[in-house]
Structure formats: structure tokens, C-alpha cells
Chain A
Amino acid sequence: MHFRLFDSKGSLVDEGAGSVKFVAGAIVVVPEMGEPMTIRPNAIGNITEPAPFVVGIVQNDS
């Protein structure tokens, strides 16, 4: 899996390869290097498909 993380202004914060898993209902993106990022379901504002076969998760505060 390849991920790209943007901040609320749309600037790229982090990018790389990793894996994704669900832990206690929350989605956790585990980069190959670096800290995992946990997104609780209530923090998910919207789920989009910005490009074919790409899953976008818009956070409530972004």
C-alpha cells in the first residue's frame, strides 16, 4: 500500500509505503518507517475516491 498524508491546507506531510489495518474499530496506517497513524471512526469526515482505485479519507479537522 502507498499512502500520502496531507494537512488541512493541502500540503503533503508524509508519503511512503506501508500497510493498513483495523484496530478496535479504528483504521491504522503503519508506514514501513515512522510512527503509525490511528484514525478513529468518529474522526472520519468523508470517504472519497480522488482517483480510480485510490481511497481518500477526509478527517473532520482537515
Chain B
Amino acid sequence: MLEMSELGQMRTQLLAQLKDSRHDDAKKTLLLVGIGNPSKFKGVVNGEEGEVFLYDDALVFMPRSKEPLQLLYSFVEGLETDATGYHLTLKVRGTEPISLERFANRTGELSDSLKAKIGAARVRTSAFFSTLLPGLGPIQVRQISALLADGIACEASALDSVETDIFSTLFDLATIEPLKPLANKLASYGETWLGFKQRRSVEQKARGGEQWHDHTHGDIQDHGGLPPAPMGIGGMMMASTIANGPMWGSGYGFDGAFGERGSSLAYEMLGISMMGRSQGSQGLNSIFPGTNQTSHEIVQRAIPALNPLTLAKTNYEKLRLDGKRPAILSFLIVASGTKIIYRPLNDALDPTIVFTGSRSDVGAINRGLALIDFDVDAISDDSNRATSRFQTAIERISILRQLRATYQIAVLPSEPDARVEEAIKTP
């Protein structure tokens, strides 16, 4: 243990930085789920004090010392508030309810924010399937969206009960061309599940609308007064001229008659010579030595491009399966005897993973994969304790340890398919 005292005013800053760095690091090293920028709330979850982070797709609770709690909104079945209004209960598919309390005057905000985020996640899923399957009616799209909620795989027969052959249609749309032969072969090994998981945020922040500034011109000393008057006789002459016009005759100063060169001094003061562009030395400088005025041409006022205001919005068109970094991951799960196969369908770089388990374990493996954000490298990583970048996650995340315990083999698409077949046949 390290104790630090006599920190003075740095103590508050240190504690805040410690908290932030722990969270930033935990997100990376513990393979925590969550996309987008989270809203933070401090309170008690399942009796543990800590911080709740509401991401676009998941709730992450970081207790002070224990294992973080992660919950994808797609697993939430309901949110209840007790009579006091200060105790929330989240009903979750497949696990015990989650209790949230002691959020003080932010309880209402937390509840509203949770409802809004859960709703928004469902809208994104619905929008994705609505675009992917434009020929289907709203009722079928709604049913499919419910079955294929974010990160949850659905069995082929359940999908086909909504619309005939919809599984094969979705399977075809979800699989990129180079992986089609492999995916078809894997699907032939047993019962199949298909799933989709959003991996990148499509929420766009508000932009623009900042204070207008003419970037084409330097700062103008508006209301800043005249340049400093020179010392001595020059300064006296300048002051006198501004008040009355030049000593050797009126008409050049501000008091000049309208239309009789009365405005020339004003132009001179702005640095614009009335005596020609190249005659700066004959302008104000010649009248007031030391003012260092330089003449220039009158130019058209610049029309600066205004920075347009863009409101915060959800970019539904970015919810795609194709492209270099698709926002949606599509995956296949196959249950074949005592083996479960996981295969990403639109990522040719990730391996096919074979787990030991029966049909009834598909849900648990699916949930585990969703909670490590489908980062399968963490499952197959066999580097030693000192060099493994997943060591902390393995030590602290029980679901990852369970996945690693059932993991059998990882086969890259570039490797022979026979290795997967061999693994399936191995008892």
C-alpha cells in the first residue's frame, strides 16, 4: 500500500485523475463493452459503491475494487422504480436483477437517461433491419429486431417462423463474399444461430455554431482609439489637427466641409492614402512624422465562410455490414454435438473459434462473447503472464475465464478448414 499525505490542494486533483485514469485503463485492459461517450453517475449498484457509465449500447458499473459489471441494453427486460423513487431495479435476461440506489438527486436523471439509451439502442436495431430488409412489413421487422437485439444471436428456426427463409436471406446479406464458402460449410455442421452487434458509435455530436470570426482579416482594434500620439511637437500637431484640421489650413481635418476633402484625414487615419497608393510618404506620415501610417488599396470586404451549425444526430446510414470498418459485426454460431463454433461473418481477419459445449451452452457463450465485445484474441491468447495484454482481463473478468475454459481452438480463415472439422470430431 502507498500512502500519500501533505498533498495540499493537489489532493482533489490527484483523486480525480486517479479515478479517470482507472476508468480509461479499465475500458481497454478489461475489454469492457461500451461505445460512444458515456454519461457518468455515482451511486451504489448491487450494494457496491462506484460509478455507473451509460454508453450508447451498454451500462458499465465500475466498483471501487471488485469486478466491473457490464450490461448490454439488449439484455434489459425492464426498469422499475420503487415507491420512494430513489431505488431502481433493472430486470435482465438470463441473470439476476440489478439494483441501483443512492444516486441522490440524480436518480431521476439516471432513470430517464437509461430509458432514453435503451430506447435509442432499440431504434438503431430497428432502423438497421428496416434498411437491410426493405421488402418486409413493419410487423416482421419489429419481430426480427426483437429476436436479433444487439449482440444476441437467434436460432435459424425462430427467425424462419417470422418469415419463410429469412435466416438464409440474412445469412447471405451478413456474410462477405470471401467468407461465404467457409460460412456455408460451418453452417452445415449443425444447428445455426445468427447475430449482429454494433461495434462503433453512430451518434454524431453537435458541431459548429461558434462565435463568428473573420479569419481573413487580423484583429481590428475596434474602439481601441488612435495609434499612440508621437511625443513632442509631432504629438501636439496631431492633437491639434484632429480637433481643428492642419495648422496650415482647414479642410483636411474632420471639421472639413462636406465634399471638400474633409474626409481625407479620416481615410488617412485608416491607412488609406487619398494621394495615391505609392505616395504613402506624402500622406499622413508627411503631416505627422512618427505615426508610421502605411497606405493601402481599398479592397472588397471579405465574405468569410460561416461555420455551419450541425445538430447532434444519429447517423443511421452508418449502420452497415460492409466497408473497411463496419459499424455492425455479423456472426454465426453453430452447435455441433459437443462443440460450439463461433465465426464472424463480415471480418475476414478474425479466427473461427471452437468451444466445448452443447446446444444449451450457446446462450452463455453468446453472452460471454458480447461482454468482451467479441474480442476473440483474448480467448485464444496463449502468451505468458508477463507479456499478455489480456492478463488483467483474464484475472478480473470471470466471463472471460469461463470462455477460456471452454475454448478449444482458433482457426484463421487463411488456414485449412480441416482443422475446424478435426476439432469438431475430437471428443
Binding site for B on A (CB under 8 A): 1-6, 10, 20, 22, 25-27, 29, 37, 39-42, 44-47, 50-51, 53-59, 62
Cα–Cα, bound, A29→B7 (Å): 12
- Chain A nearest CB from B243 CB (Å) reads 61
Evaluate contact between A59 and B1: CB separation under 8 angstroms.
yes
Residue of A nearest to B3 (CB): A4
Q: Which of B52-81 contact A (CB under 8 A)?
A: 64-65
Evaluate contact between A22 and B2: CB separation under 8 angstroms.
no
Binds A, one of B20-28, B316-324, B376-384, B411-419: B20-28
Q: What bracket does the count of chain B residues touching chain A fall in?
A: 20 to 34
B2, B22, B25: the one contacting A5 at CB < 8 Å is B2
B15 contacts partner chain A, Cβ-Cβ < 8 Å: yes
B287 contacts partner chain A, Cβ-Cβ < 8 Å: no
B1, B11, B29: the one contacting A42 at CB < 8 Å is B29
B392 contacts partner chain A, Cβ-Cβ < 8 Å: yes
B4 contacts partner chain A, Cβ-Cβ < 8 Å: yes
- Chain A nearest CB from B19 CB (Å) reads 8
5 closest Cβ pairs, A-B complex: A41-B25, A46-B65, A42-B392, A4-B3, A2-B6
Chain A residues with CB under 8 A of B84: none
Evaluate contact between B18 and A27: CB separation under 8 angstroms.
yes
Cα–Cα, bound, A6→B7 (Å): 18
Chain B residues with CB under 8 A of A56: 1-4
Residue of B nearest to A10 (CB): B1
Residue of B nearest to A43 (CB): B392
Given known contacts A22-B17, A25-B21, A47-B18, A41 and B26 CB-to-CB distance under 8 angstroms:
yes
Residue of B nearest to A25 (CB): B21
Evaluate contact between B3 and A50: CB separation under 8 angstroms.
yes
Say whether chain B's binding surface is mostly helix, strand, loop, or mixed. Answer: helix
Q: List 28 A-B contacts (CB under 8 A).
A: A3-B4, A3-B5, A4-B3, A4-B5, A5-B2, A20-B4, A20-B7, A20-B10, A20-B14, A27-B17, A27-B18, A39-B2, A41-B22, A42-B26, A44-B22, A45-B65, A47-B64, A54-B3, A55-B7, A55-B14, A55-B15, A56-B3, A56-B4, A57-B1, A57-B2, A57-B3, A57-B18, A58-B1
Cα–Cα, bound, A27→B2 (Å): 11
Cα–Cα, bound, A40→B29 (Å): 11
Chain B residues with CB under 8 A of A37: 2
- Chain B nearest CB from A16 CB (Å) reads 11
Cα–Cα, bound, A15→B25 (Å): 28
Cα–Cα, bound, A27→B4 (Å): 12
- Chain B nearest CB from A43 CB (Å) reads 9
Given known contacts A26-B21, A42-B29, A47-B18, A55 and B1 CB-to-CB distance under 8 angstroms:
no
- Chain B nearest CB from A10 CB (Å) reads 8
Given known contacts A22-B17, A42-B29, A42-B392, A59 and B2 CB-to-CB distance under 8 angstroms:
yes
Cα–Cα, bound, A58→B24 (Å): 19
Cα–Cα, bound, A56→B26 (Å): 19
Cα–Cα, bound, A22→B112 (Å): 36
Cα–Cα, bound, A19→B19 (Å): 19
Chain B residues with CB under 8 A of A3: 2-5
